[in-house]
A and B are shown apart, each in its own frame.
Chain A
Amino acid sequence: MGYIEQILVLIGINLIAVLGLSILTGFTGLFSFGHAGFMAIGAYISAIFTARLHLPFALAIVAGAAAAGLVSIFIGRLTLKLKGDYFCIATMGFGEAVRVILNNINYVGGARGWESLPQLTNIWVVLGLDIVFVIVTWNLINSRQGRNMVAVREEELAAQMAGIDVYRHKMIALVVSAAMAGIAGALMANFIQFIRPTMFNMAKSTDLTIMVIFGGLGSISGSIIGTILLVSLPELFRNFAQWRLVIYGLAVIIIMVGRPKGVMGGFELTPSGIRKSMAARRARLALEAEARAAERVAQQEGPA
């Protein structure tokens, strides 16, 4: 597999996890710092299925997604009724717990890691799954369930008063995002053929969250752009090895300062998305023009 192809596969794998996290963080407004934990579950389940049980890769991916989804239901039941930042802190704890538990299971290699897994992930599998999950994410967000999630993000109390079951919609977002992280983990394990608990530490979780924020909260096209840029950026500067993390950090800081809402900032790079934001802009300008006109009238009448 060529170097460029490898980077493309890495982008594709990360994209699935980032799209999932985009549903949870960008559209439902819940921040997670433990999604690497769900990736780890998917990766280790897939490794067990393919390397130990010699089952088909497709089954391993499904099992990885299901395991991550099931664990997320348990986590959600414990934490989704918490208010404020507690959910975020709980996910951080979850991610670390998964890593520490894996460190201590010798069956999967413990802290040393697990080598020579079968390489089953190729660019076509990744590309196919990327297309599927972009469509799934898009269709979910543009349905009543997706709109309800956005309502929860925007104004939780008003969402409840509009008859939206806030807990249920947070749970849907969490389970879908965890399952997608599980799939990304399964693809990752059978791509680099080596897994180790430290690969799924908090830095990995933060990486995923940064990609979502960098691209723009509440934008699917933003998540795609964020993933492509932030996965390939360190690779582009691989020649000055010690500087690449500095450049990566600078890029993130520049975006946070210059475009605090991310590269796309809730805007979708699709025909309908462009139409919508142009209509919103026109409507806002019309409102401002009306307000100015009313002010002029008031001023003219005022002195008389």
Chain B
Amino acid sequence: MSTVLELKGLTKRFGGLAAVNDVSFKVREGGISGLIGPNGAGKTTIFNLITGVYKVTEGSIEFMGTPVQDREPYQIAGLGITRTFQNIRLFKELSVFDNVLTACHGSAKYGLTEAILRLPRFRREEKELRKKTDSLLEIMGLQDRVDVTANNLPYGLQRRLEITRALALDPKLLLLDEPAAGMNPDETEQLMRLIGEVRKMFNLSVLVIEHHMDLIMGVCEHIHVLSFGCTLADGTPEEVANDPQVVEAYLGSDEEKKQC
């Protein structure tokens, strides 16, 4: 299996604090990888570095062989990396349909003049965008909700819409930041199945941050564990779960336990 994303010696410092310190790992093409660690370990910071929201202090990020650490966020998205957010960020006042339609914009190439003059190319490409939006919403089971204002959707469906919007970019790598946060076990189970299906259907690689251990252990083929910005462990779910350092980071050391 080839590598779709490779982080090499990635470091991010905010003033004197190293939020991410010399982290290296690979995401395999077509796989689902997990990024776990206690609160404040630097997981979301790594997502922000990959997507260009933060500038890298040291190290490199290679996406399908091309370095991306100096590019603008929208360029990185255009190359095929998209994400969802820990605290859902939808276009709240827009309908479900318009949320996805907006994100499809990259599939159309018409310019500003063509749009203002409503030239044939505009009409043709707009029709295609709408078709693409319809089919995405249908695949993701949101076809009965197209008219709902995103803000009014129930929580679980908002998560689903956010993933649908990310898929509208035809990404090669999907970054999911705590997709199951605030979900009950039933919804988490549904989500796990959805992630698996989406990956196969869209031929994606997925990197997921999660606290739900059952979700991580259930879907991920490879897990990278962080603690205080540093790599703690890296391997298959079984290897990671049996790593004494990981157990310590999550459950505390023996001495701490005695105190409790």
CB distance from A181 to the nearest CB of B (A): 18
CB distance from A114 to the nearest CB of B (A): 34
Of the residues B51, B95, B147, B154, contact of A161 by C-beta under 8 Å: B51
Q: Which residue of B lies closest to A284 (CB)?
A: B152
Residue interface bits A132-148, CB-to-B below 8 A is 1, else 0: 00001001100111111
Does B74 belong to the interface (CB within 8 Å)? yes
CB distance from A133 to the nearest CB of B (A): 11
Does A71 belong to the interface (CB within 8 Å)? no
Residue interface bits B67-102, CB-to-A below 8 A is 1, else 0: 000001110011000110100011111110010011
Q: Beyond A147-B98, A147-B105, A172-B112, is A280–B91 a contact (Cβ under 8 Å)?
A: no
Q: Beyond A139-B116, A283-B148, A291-B154, is A163–B93 a contact (Cβ under 8 Å)?
A: no
Q: Is the CB of B78 within 8 A of A280?
A: no
Of the residues B74, B92, B147, B153, contact of A160 by C-beta under 8 Å: B74
User: How many of chain B's residues touch chain A, expressed as a range?
Assistant: 35 or more
Interfacial chain A residues near B122, Cβ < 8 Å? 143
Does A279 belong to the interface (CB within 8 Å)? yes
A118 and B145 alpha carbons, distance in the complex (Å): 58
In the complex, chain B residues 106-146 whose Cβ is within 8 Å of any chain A Cβ: 106, 108, 110, 112, 115-118, 122, 126, 129, 145-146
Does B169 belong to the interface (CB within 8 Å)? yes
Q: Is the CB of A157 within 8 A of B149?
A: no
Q: Is the CB of B90 within 8 A of A158?
A: yes
CB distance from B114 to the nearest CB of A (A): 8
Q: Is the CB of A144 within 8 A of B148?
A: no
CB distance from B69 to the nearest CB of A (A): 16
Of the residues B93, B101, B169, contact of A147 by C-beta under 8 Å: B101
Q: Beyond A147-B98, A158-B89, A284-B149, is A136–B116 a contact (Cβ under 8 Å)?
A: yes
Interfacial chain A residues near B108, Cβ < 8 Å? 144
Interfacial chain B residues near A158, Cβ < 8 Å? 85, 89-91, 165
Of the residues B78, B91, B110, B148, contact of A155 by C-beta under 8 Å: B91
Q: Beyond A147-B101, A155-B90, is A287–B153 a contact (Cβ under 8 Å)?
A: yes
Interfacial chain A residues near B101, Cβ < 8 Å? 147
Q: Is the CB of A154 within 8 A of B147?
A: no
Does A263 belong to the interface (CB within 8 Å)? no
CB distance from B211 to the nearest CB of A (A): 22
Does B23 belong to the interface (CB within 8 Å)? no
Q: Is the CB of A162 within 8 A of B102?
A: yes
A154 and B146 alpha carbons, distance in the complex (Å): 18
Q: Is the CB of B110 within 8 A of A144?
A: yes
Q: Which residue of B lies closest to A176 (CB)?
A: B112
Interfacial chain B residues near A165, Cβ < 8 Å? 72, 74
Q: Is the CB of A166 within 8 A of B74?
A: yes
Does B103 belong to the interface (CB within 8 Å)? yes
Does A266 belong to the interface (CB within 8 Å)? yes
Q: Is the CB of A164 within 8 A of B105?
A: yes
Interfacial chain A residues near B83, Cβ < 8 Å? 161
Q: Beyond A157-B53, A161-B83, A162-B165, is A276–B95 a contact (Cβ under 8 Å)?
A: yes
Interfacial chain A residues near B152, Cβ < 8 Å? 283-284, 287
Given contacts A139-B115, A163-B82, A283-B152, 17 further A-B contacts (CB under 8 A): A136-B116, A139-B118, A140-B115, A144-B105, A144-B110, A147-B101, A148-B105, A151-B102, A154-B91, A154-B94, A155-B90, A158-B89, A161-B82, A161-B166, A162-B105, A162-B169, A284-B148
For this complex, 15 residue pairs linking A to B, each with C-beta atoms less than 8 Å apart, are: A144-B108, A144-B126, A144-B129, A148-B105, A155-B92, A157-B53, A157-B85, A161-B73, A162-B105, A162-B168, A163-B77, A280-B95, A280-B148, A283-B147, A284-B148
